[in-house]
């Protein structure tokens, strides 16, 4: 297949890549642009390690072609911090020890970020939080520390004073 | 929400500054910002990509491999087969040559579906993948055998030449007079026997096996590997490559999970090294999830025959068990699982007589090996359910029976183990209180319990020396910052944080003063790495000793400066060097370091530490103890299980890192619950039927129940600051506790894992039929 140019914005920066149209979004992010914070753990859209935000929606980066996000804003884990300042969910993960090996963490953070954005200002139940990260497999933590971290942010514990 | 840590009332007047306080993991920032770089992320200039051609047959002779069509494909740089290797049969039990049975690229025959046959290096992964289809392999298919009870038969196919009845290794454990105790029970006690089938389980590390090898013209090899032990990887690779160990550098940057599956030599490491040596270019190999599932290794499936004798009032007399494990095609770490399963099958109870005969049998399936719990989850599934059934048969209280027979402090398991600290009785008491506080749970729902214990590192080492060892080197810089070099491996369990806490506590500094260096054989001291729950106790002791060494050197200067009687009158806490009896009299740690280093002509202060257990029996220097309760409900229509809550009373001595401890408990519970009722590796003629994360079910967030931990605080004299194992042992009780919950809820006895809806419905149907026939 003939290669083509693709423009997209990742973490606020515009990029142009020259790719085979069959290239997956996660491949562009990792292999072409070098954002290796995003991981891959399966070939079956099952594990969620490659989750990123497209606009504000969480998307598994292996489930769509890069050309499908032409001109859109993509956020990866590297885009969560602001000039060295961690986002509330990143700080909550640290406080709760909501990661162990860390391989699923980037994807988990993206799903959590999307969930929190979607439910901003609403009160959320534990069950809703669990459903919010259902697409992400973590083999280390047993999820409960992650649920506590998301809950703490949802309850406003990490709001700037 | 979800989990809490409830402390028991252990009293101590020791006040720690860092130990048992809430700290962030030392690698936390790297992991929550995506900066942590795994082997999966390593890219080197000029790097090629490797792919592995795997056997489609469970058992076949390799007659010929023709790679000429693959080599003609543009972009393909090399193809390696067994003929390109030294043909070394390797294994992790290096001191026993007969157990070194695996050529990672076999020369003569393949023994399981997915076994590597050839490897390709190409400029892209796609080209390497395409080249696999162009390698022509001629096989002569051989008869195969898949189950240990078939493979052990006289007329079964021979999997390894010269291995009679495919018995790979056997293990006999015995103490006391078993036959006499059974004779006594026959007269006036109670004997029960049962057969159990325990399934396999995949480690399912989120980072699949991965390696990047770079062989350079100076004859040196550098390998980035997803490994639990850089030291083992170095030794094993040097062995198969015919190199000196010092010429092989292994780097394990961040490791995306291990769980017992990543300390043997794998095909990603070996094939990338062989290809790189051919080409003098870096070669990267990452397993796909499917490759990882069909051709790494797995938890050992086990068939257990258990015969137990007790008095009618519930005193344990004797047990004899026979176990046949499905070893798969090669030994791996499975020989150790055979041993530990048999030992922990006796835990945590006192037996007058105990006899275990374990047989590890080769089959034409993916090899089995260690996985979190190391044979003990299987052993406990059988033992702890049978105990509940015997209590029900005799009308006895399962808590009371367990308490009567439980290990206690300073108990000796005859000829096997010396128990020092032991909080087993207290664990039983606390769980009994918790269960009683829950009251009546309604129909089809009950709480099941299971006790167990686990080792804090194996005493044994079959790799090179007879002893297990850990070591650490600590260097204090001019500004007071500390470089801590350890050989222990952080695979996500948080050992770097544990070591930093122990170092900070010992030196009397803050955790942010410590930089931990691990996972690099060129710069870190030798250490067997992360397996068998060894690091907190063993590497922790080494770190403590190294820091005590460095601290004493520092305090000698303070002593001279302050004119005291003996150096031990001084201590450092929270960066304050002071007279113990008069804490206000002292100096700043940073000032002391500067003075001390000036007096040493600017040389850094270096402390060294090591640990190796001596005179601690056959198994381990210390043992954790626990009892777990699982609150579960069965839907009698569908057979589906819902887990409501898991509560664990746990004795790991002195907790070092409470946040890490909670994480280990919750993580172990999710992995062990998966083993208990979701995860399975069904095969059809050696072919795995669910080699992906769609069909292989792991616990996800919605299924994960509420968890809690009651910390039974003991002090283990052999451990650093009284600490012992936490994390691996917690995988042991869960399947049994769930089985017991199902037994008490539905009156059915589950003898096969996992507890699937089909098995539950079948047992309910059989129960109904039996009742109708009465």
Kindly report, residue by residue over B629-639, the tens digit of the pLDDT: 999 999 999 99
CB B358 within 8 A of CB B302: no
The residues near A6 (Cβ < 8 Å, ≥ 6 apart) are: A16, A17, A18, A19, A28, A66, A67, A70
B133 token code pair: 């289809």
Chain A, nearest residue to B728 by Cα: A140
B175 token code pair: 């103490």
CB A46 within 8 A of CB B694: yes
Does residue B348 have a cis peptide bond before it, meaning omega lies within 30 degrees of 0? yes
- Predicted local distance difference test score (pLDDT) of residue B9: 45
Same domain, B499 and B388: no
- Predicted local distance difference test score (pLDDT) of residue B1: 46
Q: Is B442 on the interface with A (CB under 8 A)?
A: no
- For the segment A44-62, the average pLDDT, to the nearest whole number, is 97
Specify the CATH superfamily of domain A88-154: [2Fe-2S]-binding domain (1.10.150.120)
Same domain, B746 and B632: yes
* Best CA proximity match to B372, nearest among B299, B301, B463: B299
* Best CA proximity match to B630, nearest among B726, B727, B706: B706
Q: Please indicate, yes or no, if residue B527 is contained in any of the structural domains.
A: yes
Q: E strand or H helix at B592, and its extent? A: helix B589-599
Instruction: Answer yes or no: do A101 and B671 touch at CB < 8 A.
Output: no
Min distance B33 CA to chain A CA atoms (Å): 6
Of A105, A142, A147, the CB nearest to B32: A105
* Best CA proximity match to B474, nearest among B497, B493, B502, B450: B502
Q: pLDDT tens digit string along A107-160?
A: 999 999 999 999 999 999 999 999 999 999 999 999 999 999 999 999 999 987
Which of B564, B587, B611 is at the close of a domain?
A: B611
Q: Please indicate, yes or no, if residue B238 is contained in any of the structural domains.
A: no
Same domain, B426 and B386: yes
Residue extent(s) of CATH 3.10.20.30 domains in chain A: 4-78
Q: Which of A32, A90, A101 to mutate to test the interface with B (most CBs of B within 10 A)?
A: A101
Q: What is the C-alpha radius of gyration for chain B, rounded to an integer number of angstroms?
A: 27
β-strand partners of B369: B299
Lowest-confidence segment of A28-32, A53-57, B616-620, B745-749 by average pLDDT = B616-620
Same domain, B624 and B717: yes
Instruction: Answer yes or no: do B33 and A39 touch at CB < 8 A.
Output: no
- Predicted local distance difference test score (pLDDT) of residue B310: 98
Of A101, A109, A144, the CB nearest to B206: A101
Give the integer Cα–Cα distance in Å for A82 and B595.
41
Question: Looking at beta carbons, which residues of chain A come within 8 Å of B35?
Answer: 37
Same domain, B455 and B475: no
In chain A the first and final C-alpha atoms are separated, in Å, by 54
Q: Please indicate, yes or no, if residue B347 is contained in any of the structural domains.
A: no
Give the integer Cα–Cα distance in Å for B407 and B371.
25
Same domain, B442 and B473: no
Question: Looking at beta carbons, which residues of chain A come within 8 Å of B254?
Answer: 101-102
User: Does the structure show a pLDDT above 90 at A29?
Assistant: yes
Same domain, B603 and B638: no
Same domain, B622 and B764: yes
Q: Which residues of B686-695 are buried (b: 16+ CB within 10 A; e: fewer)?
A: bbbebbebee
Same domain, B752 and B634: yes
CATH number of the domain where residue B543 is located = 3.30.365.10
- Integer CA distances (angstroms), A23 to A33, A38, B149, B657, in order: 13, 16, 48, 44
- What angle, rounded to 10 degrees, do the helices at B424-438 and B398-405 form? 170
**pLDDT averaged over every residue in chain A:** 97
Size of interface A-B (CB pairs under 8 A): 179
- Predicted local distance difference test score (pLDDT) of residue B460: 86
- Predicted local distance difference test score (pLDDT) of residue B454: 98
Structural domain harbouring B586: 469-611
Residues of chain B scoring pLDDT < 70 = 1-13, 566-568
Number of domains chain B is built from:
2
Same domain, B570 and B629: no
Same domain, B634 and B605: no
Q: Is B709 on the interface with A (CB under 8 A)?
A: no
Give the integer Cα–Cα distance in Å for A70 and B236.
48
Task: Give A124-129 contacts, CB < 8 A, sequence gap 24+.
Answer: A124/A151, A124/A154, A126/A151, A126/B1, A126/B2, A127/B702, A129/A154, A129/B701
Q: pLDDT tens digit string along A75-92?
A: 999 999 999 999 999 999
Min distance A70 CA to chain B CA atoms (Å): 24
253-292 in B: which are within 8 Å (CB) of A?
254-259, 288-290
Q: Is B325 on the interface with A (CB under 8 A)?
A: no
Same domain, B455 and B527: no
Question: Looking at beta carbons, which residues of chain B come within 8 Å of A146?
Answer: 701
Min distance B534 CA to chain A CA atoms (Å): 18
Which of B558, B580, B611 is at the close of a domain?
A: B611
Min distance B735 CA to chain A CA atoms (Å): 16
- Predicted local distance difference test score (pLDDT) of residue B564: 76
CATH of A4-78, one of 3.10.20.340, 3.30.565.10, 3.10.20.30, 3.40.30.10: 3.10.20.30
Instruction: Answer yes or no: do A144 and B24 touch at CB < 8 A.
Output: no
Which of B587, B611, B635 is at the close of a domain?
A: B611
Give the integer Cα–Cα distance in Å for A53 and B84.
46
- Predicted local distance difference test score (pLDDT) of residue B13: 65
Instruction: Answer yes or no: do B667 and A142 touch at CB < 8 A.
Output: yes
- Predicted local distance difference test score (pLDDT) of residue B466: 77
Question: Looking at beta carbons, which residues of chain A come within 8 Å of B29?
Answer: 86, 94
Residue extent(s) of CATH 1.10.150.120 domains in chain A: 88-154
């Amino acid at each position: 297949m003939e290669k083509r140019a693709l423009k997209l914005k990742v973490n606020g920066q515009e990029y142009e890549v020259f790719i085979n149209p069959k290239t997956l979004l996660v491949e562009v992010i990792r292999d072409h642009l070098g954002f290796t914070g995003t991981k891959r753990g399966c070939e079956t859209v099952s594990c969620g390690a490659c989750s990123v935000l497209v606009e504000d929606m969480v998307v598994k980066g292996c489930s769509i072609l890069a050309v499908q996000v032409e001109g859109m804003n993509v956020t990866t884990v590297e885009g969560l911090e602001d000039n060295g300042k961690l986002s509330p969910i990143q700080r909550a993960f640290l406080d709760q020890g909501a990661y162990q090996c860390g391989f699923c963490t980037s994807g988990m953070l993206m799903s959590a970020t999307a969930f929190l954005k979607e439910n901003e200002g609403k009160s959320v139940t534990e069950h809703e939080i669990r459903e919010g990260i259902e697409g992400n497999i973590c083999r280390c933590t047993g999820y409960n520390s992650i649920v506590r971290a998301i809950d703490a942010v949802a309850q406003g514990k990490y709001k700037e004073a | 929400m979800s989990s809490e840590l409830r402390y028991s009332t252990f009293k101590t007047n020791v006040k720690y500054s860092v130990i048992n306080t809430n700290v962030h993991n030392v690698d936390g920032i790297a992991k929550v910002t995506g900066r942590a770089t795994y082997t999966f992320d390593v890219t080197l200039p000029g790097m090629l990509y490797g792919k592995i051609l795997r056997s489609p047959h469970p058992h076949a002779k390799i007659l010929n491999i023709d790679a000429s069509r693959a080599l003609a494909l543009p972009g393909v740089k090399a193809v390696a087969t067994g003929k390109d290797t030294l043909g070394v049969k390797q294994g992790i039990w290096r001191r026993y040559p007969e157990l070194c049975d695996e050529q990672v690229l076999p020369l003569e025959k393949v023994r399981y579906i997915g076994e590597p046959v050839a490897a390709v290096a190409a400029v892209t992964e796609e080209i390497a993948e395409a080249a696999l289809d162009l390698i022509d392999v001629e096989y002569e298919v051989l008869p195969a055998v898949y189950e240990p009870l078939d493979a052990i038969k006289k007329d079964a196919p021979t999997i390894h030449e010269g291995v009679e009845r495919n018995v790979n290794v056997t293990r006999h454990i015995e103490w006391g007079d078993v036959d006499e105790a059974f004779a006594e029970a026959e007269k006036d006690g109670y004997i029960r026997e049962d057969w159990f089938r325990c399934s396999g389980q995949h480690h399912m590390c989120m980072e699949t096996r991965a390696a990047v090898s770079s062989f350079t013209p100076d004859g040196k090899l550098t390998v980035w590997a997803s490994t639990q032990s850089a030291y083992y990887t170095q030794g094993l690779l040097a062995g198969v490559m015919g190199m000196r160990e010092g010429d092989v550098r292994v780097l394990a940057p961040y490791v995306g999970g291990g769980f017992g599956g990543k300390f043997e030599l794998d095909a990603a490491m070996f094939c990338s090294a062989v290809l790189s040596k051919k080409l003098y270019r870096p070669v990267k190999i990452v397993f796909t999830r499917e490759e990882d599932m069909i051709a790494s290794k797995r938890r050992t499936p086990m068939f257990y025959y258990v015969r137990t004798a007790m008095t009618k009032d519930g005193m344990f007399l004797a047990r004899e068990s026979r176990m046949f494990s499905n070893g798969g095609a090669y030994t791996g770490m499975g020989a150790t699982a055979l041993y530990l399963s048999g030992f922990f099958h006796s835990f945590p109870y006192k037996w007058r007589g105990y006899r275990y005969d374990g047989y590890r049998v080769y089959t034409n399936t993916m090899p089995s090996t260690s996985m979190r719990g190391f044979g003990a989850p299987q052993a406990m599934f059988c033992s702890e359910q049978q105990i509940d059934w015997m209590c029900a048969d005799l009308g006895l209280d399962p808590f009371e029976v367990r308490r009567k027979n439980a290990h206690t402090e300073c108990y000796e398991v005859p000829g096997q183990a010396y128990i020092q600290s032991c909080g087993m009785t207290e664990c039983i008491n606390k769980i009994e209180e918790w269960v009683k506080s829950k009251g009546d749970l309604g129909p089809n729902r009950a709480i099941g319990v299971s006790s167990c214990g686990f080792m804090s590192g194996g005493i044994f080492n079959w790799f090179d020396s007879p002893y297990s060892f850990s070591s650490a080197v600590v260097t204090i810089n001019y500004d007071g910052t500390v470089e801590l070099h350890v050989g222990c491996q952080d695979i996500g369990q948080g050992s770097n944080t544990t070591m930093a806490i122990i170092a900070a506590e010992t030196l009397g500094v803050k955790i942010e003063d410590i930089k931990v260096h691990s996972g690099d054989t060129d710069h870190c001291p030798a250490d067997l790495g992360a397996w068998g729950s060894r690091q907190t106790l063993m590497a922790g002791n080494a770190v403590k000793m190294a820091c005590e060494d460095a601290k004493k050197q520092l305090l000698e200067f303070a002593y001279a400066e302050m004119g005291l009687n003996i150096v031990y009158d001084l201590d450092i806490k929270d960066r304050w060097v002071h007279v113990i009896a008069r804490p206000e009299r002292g100096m700043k740690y940073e000032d002391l370091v500067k003075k001390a280093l000036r007096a040493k002509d600017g040389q850094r202060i270096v402390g060294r530490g090591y640990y190796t257990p001596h005179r601690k029996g056959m198994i381990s220097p210390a043992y954790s103890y626990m009892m777990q309760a699982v609150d579960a409900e069965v839907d009698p229509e569908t057979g589906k299980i819902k887990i409501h809550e898991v509560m664990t009373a746990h004795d790991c001595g002195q907790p070092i890192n409470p946040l890490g401890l909670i994480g280990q408990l919750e993580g172990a519970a999710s992995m062990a619950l998966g083993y208990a009722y979701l995860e399975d590796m069904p095969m059809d003629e050696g072919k795995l039927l669910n080699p992906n994360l769609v069909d292989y079910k792991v616990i996800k967030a919605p299924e994960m129940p509420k968890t809690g931990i009651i910390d039974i605080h003991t002090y283990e004299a052999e451990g650093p600051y009284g600490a012992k194992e936490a994390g691996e042992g917690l995988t042991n009780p869960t399947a049994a506790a769930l089985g017991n919950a199902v037994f008490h809820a539905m009156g059915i006895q589950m003898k096969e894992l996992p507890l699937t809806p089909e098995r539950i419905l079948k047992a309910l149907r059989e129960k109904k039929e039996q009742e109708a026939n009465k």
